[in-house]
Structure 1
Amino acid sequence: MNNKPTNTAAGIGIEERIQLKIAEIDKLSDHLPSVVIIHNLQKGMAVEYMSPRGAAMLGFTLEELRNLGEEYHAKFFNPEDVPDYLEKTKYLLEQNNDDTIISLFQQVRASENHPWKWYLTTVKILMWDDENMPLLTIALAYPIDPLHHVTAKVSRLLEENSFLRMNYNRFSKLSEREREVLKHMALGKTASESADELCISVSTTETHRRNIKRKLDTSSFYELTQYARAFDLI
């Protein structure tokens, strides 16, 4: 479904329409249990607007955030989250409609002297230009309570996702049989037990185990288990 509204309004320029749209959002932002951020896609995802709560948390004025331009993302966000953010943003822009919403977890901090804080962020296109190309996105960033039991689970999932991204090239070198043997290794099975279940010889199993450790550059049981868990073998 391509539910894409038309933004053209007779006698009103694009900049004025942007300010009118921002004024609508600003009236409600303080009543929402989230930080509201509006990005300008045609200015390198620069900040056009941030709700007062969010600006205060970062210790910047809205004007200062606008002046940061493209540097805004590198300054406040964990670079480990960038691949997921870019992939989902690309999908959002490809869909280019009013229905598509993406969601992602992000780590944010005001400066290097502050700890990372987790946010669940939802994003959609807010406004299009006169050629119906995406112009503004709106994001609602919800803080995740660090004391909530869900936070620990989310952190583990995100750590696995980060491990997966960083080690995908190494894992991709494993053959299908080696992945089966890795699964058995992570489950604590001996070479003899794996050989019986996979219907191969013990010597072949031991060769696979040596090759797995060489390709993954580790002999640590913990790290081997990380691979198995991150790549859904167990």
Structure 2
Amino acid sequence: MLMERSHSSNSFEHRLTNIKKIADDLPAALIIHRADTLEIVYMNSTGLETLGTTLEKLQELGPEQYYVKYFNTEDSDEYVPKLMHIIKTNTNEQISYFQQVKTPLNEEWQLYVSNTKVFASNDAGEVTHVITVAGMLDPVHHITKKVSRLMDEISFLRQNNLLFSRLTKREVQVLKCMAMAMNSGEISEKLFISVATADTHRRNVRNKLGLKNNYDAVRFAQAYNLV
């Protein structure tokens, strides 16, 4: 599952706050829409810079004119039915589709691949918001897989921010070493600490993050840009 959903307005606001903490670091556009009107609730800086606008201007523009201004509406026949399906069924399915986008910086259509899924639903189980991550298609770099990985990374960061924040500065250093498959002896030499202290730090890191194997350590280290 790429990300868990919220089921109340308070939870939605909390999730939105958490998304904002990491969204501007993503090399792709991240957009959150209301499910009933498709009004844009949030767009990260990458998306706004690409379109050469602000969130306020997009909201003033409205959903219909937003799509007319920036997108080839002929593409909608391909992805709108899929979008309506996940909204109506409240499925955890992620849909992927292509969109032709025209921006102020480039008058030619540019092909983007977008991944959308349910972001939040209310207490009645009705979808209230959907989230989309979109990146310009680059066959050399296999952007489709990259966008999917971005969605996975967002989910992982959101689910584990609290756990990671409990690590001390030294434990973060030890986590980095663990991700590089260093043993306690190697860690002690690198950080100028005793082997016993290195053992203690490794044990604390495993307990705090719930690590089961070295792969888990690598996953955390990569997600938080330690390696």
Please report the TM-score for the alignment, with normalisation by the length of structure 1.
0.53
Q: Distance in 2 between matches of 1:27 and 1:149?
A: 26
Decide whether the 8 Å contact of 2:112 with 2:136 is kept in 1. yes
Deviations 1:40-99 (A, max 9, x none): 112x101101011110111111111122222212221101101112111122123313x2
The alpha-carbon deviation at position 108 of structure 1 amounts to 0.8
- Confirm or deny: 8 A CA contact 1:104 1:121 kept in the other structure: yes
Matched residue type, 2:56 = E
Q: Distance in 2 between matches of 1:127 and 1:77?
A: 25
How many residue pairs align between the two structures?
140
Structure 2 residue runs without a partner (length 5+): 144-227
1:79 aligns with 2:110: no
The residue number in structure 1 matching 2:7 is 7
Match in the other structure for 1:122: 115
CA shift in 2, pair 1:23/1:80, >3 Å:
same
**Which AA in structure 2 matches 1:102?**
I
TM-score, with length taken from structure 2: 0.55
% of aligned pairs identical? Answer: 31
CA distance in 2, matches of 1:74, 1:118: 16
Post-superposition shift, 1:17?
4.5
CA contact (8 A) 1:30 1:52 kept: yes
Residue 93 in structure 1 maps to residue 87 in structure 2: yes
Task: Please tell me whether the aligned partners of residues 97 and 115 of structure 2 are also in contact (alpha carbons under 8 angstroms).
Answer: yes
Structure 1 position 47 matched with structure 2 position 40: yes
Q: What amino acid is the match of 1:53? A: T
Query: 34, 56, 69: which one pairs with 2:62?
Result: 69
1:19 and 2:32 correspond: no
Q: Distance in 2 between matches of 1:141 and 1:85?
A: 13
Q: Which has the larger radius of gyration?
A: 1
Question: What secondary structure is seen at the aligned counterpart in 1 of 2:107?
Answer: coil
Is there any run of 5+ residues in structure 1 with no aligned partner, and where? 9-13, 152-234
String of CA shifts for 1:97-124, please: whole Å, max 9, x gaps: 3x21000011111259711111110000
- Alpha-carbon distance between aligned partners in 2 of 1:56 and 1:121, rounded to the nearest angstrom: 17
Task: After superposition, give the CA deviation of every residue in 1:144-195 in whole Å (9 maximum; x if it has no partner).
Answer: 13x74979xxxxxxxxxxxxxxxxxxxxxxxxxxxxxxxxxxxxxxxxxxxx
Measured in 2, the distance between the counterparts of 1:112 and 1:77 equals 14
* Contact 2:100–2:111 (8 Å) recurs in 1: yes
- The 3 A distance-change label for structure 1 pair 53 and 133 is same
- What amino acid is aligned across from residue 63 of structure 1 in structure 2? E
Q: Match of 2:67, as an amino acid?
A: H
Q: Within the alignment, does 1:36 sit opposite 2:30 as a pair?
A: yes
Describe the SS at the equivalent of 2:103: coil
For the aligned residue pairs, the C-alpha RMSD in angstroms reads: 2.7
Q: Tell me, yes or no, if the aligned pair for 1:6 and 1:132 is still in contact at 8 Å.
A: no
Write out aligned runs for 1:1-234 (5 A). Answer: 7-8=7-8, 14=9, 17-42=11-36, 44-70=37-63, 71-97=65-91, 99-111=92-104, 114-145=107-138, 148=140
